[in-house]
Amino acid sequence: RLSSVRMGINLELIDDLGIPAVNELLIHTQPAHLQKFYNSELEVRERNEARARFLRGRLAERRGEQN
């Protein structure tokens, strides 16, 4: 859960990701945002899969930016 990631950042257990990035991910992984991003109405399972793909992609991009 992203809320757990946010807590890890606040506790200084995670130092390679900032709160603004987590906030952005929280917003963009809301159901309406995902459906707009994928330009499709998504069932619950499809939405969960889309959310996972989206998060993996965004986190991989951030890792690439830091290297």
Residue with the bigger pLDDT between 5 and 67: it is 5
User: What's the pLDDT score for residue 27?
Assistant: 94
- The angle, 0 to 180 degrees and rounded to 10, between the axes of the packed helices 2-10 and 19-28 is 170
| Structure confidence by residue, pLDDT tens digits, 47-62 | 999 999 999 999 888 7
State how far the Cα of 50 lies from the Cα of 7, in Å rounded to an integer: 24
Residue 23 has pLDDT above 80, yes or no: yes
